[in-house]
């Protein structure tokens, strides 16, 4: 199912609408949110301090900014837990690890330490699902499945909302299967990422 998401009809939402809808739906969650992240690069908001530090190649500053946001990471986990929900991030990683991912993984380390469920899966383990192209960026919960969209520079440009129950169920099942194959983030980070960081935290 995940490899067919591109071809399944959905309602196109611009960035503002997508974020507004997601905020409203998140407040009414009673189950998990699955997030599949496949691209090895995204263009983050230009006014984001950690992104600015990354672009400037200031890795100590990257780490400092992420550390300053630790309380927010903890608060999000606690908010989900009060609703009986949990965010489960499945990160696909290609080798060699991209510079962008070295940046992102430092934020994921904070998230994981504060309770966010994150697992990592090598791109080689999903080759059979990518015969016709890479898997899409997907968010799915009890409300809908969102095929998150990006422009040619990998800046977010909205999403397609798919609310077909069968599609949502099959996608969730496949994500759960991939989740079981994936490695817990903390173990992956220690083995694969720590020695690659330009500046050790």
Quote the distance between the C-alpha of residue 67 and its chain's center.
19
CA-to-CA distance for 24 and 14, rounded, in angstroms?
16
Q: Measuring CA to CA, which residue among 182, 179, 175 is closest to residue 1?
A: 175
Per-residue pLDDT of the chain in tens (201 residues, 90 and over written 9): 999 999 999 999 999 999 999 999 999 999 999 999 999 999 999 999 999 999 999 999 999 999 999 999 999 999 999 999 999 999 999 999 999 999 999 999 999 999 999 999 999 999 999 999 999 999 999 999 999 999 999 999 999 999 999 999 999 999 999 999 999 999 999 999 999 988 544
DSSP alpha helices (H): ranges in the chain? 15-26, 49-55, 59-68, 70-82, 99-113, 165-181, 185-188
In the prediction, which pLDDT does 201 show?
45
CA angle 48, 22, 119 (to 5 degrees): 70
- Give me the pLDDT at residue 3, please: 96
Q: Which pLDDT belongs to residue 198? A: 81
CA 130 to each of CA 90, 119, 168: distance values in angstroms, whole numbers, following the listed order: 16, 19, 19
Domains of the chain: 2-196 (3.30.870.10)
pTM for this one?
0.95
């Amino acid at each position: 199912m995940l490899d067919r998401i591109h071809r399944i009809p959905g309602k196109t939402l611009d960035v503002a609408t997508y974020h507004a809808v997601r905020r409203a739906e998140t407040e009414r969650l009673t189950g998990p949110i699955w997030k599949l992240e496949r691209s090895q690069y995204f263009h983050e908001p230009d006014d984001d301090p950690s992104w600015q530090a990354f672009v400037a190649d200031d890795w100590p500053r990257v780490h400092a900014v992420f550390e300053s946001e630790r309380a927010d990471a903890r608060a999000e986990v606690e908010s989900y837990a009060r609703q009986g929900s949990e965010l489960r991030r499945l990160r696909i990683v290609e080798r060699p690890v991209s510079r962008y991912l070295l940046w992102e993984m430092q934020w994921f380390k904070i998230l994981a330490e504060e309770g966010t469920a994150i697992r990592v899966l090598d791109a080689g383990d999903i080759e059979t699902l990518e015969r016709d192209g890479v898997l899409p960026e997907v968010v799915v919960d009890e409300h809908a499945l969102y095929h998150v969209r990006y422009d040619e520079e990998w800046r977010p440009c909205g999403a397609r909302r798919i609310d077909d129950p069968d599609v949502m169920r099959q996608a969730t099942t496949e994500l759960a299967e991939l989740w079981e194959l994936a490695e817990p983030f903390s173990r992956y980070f220690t083995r694969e990422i720590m020695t690659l960081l330009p500046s050790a935290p």
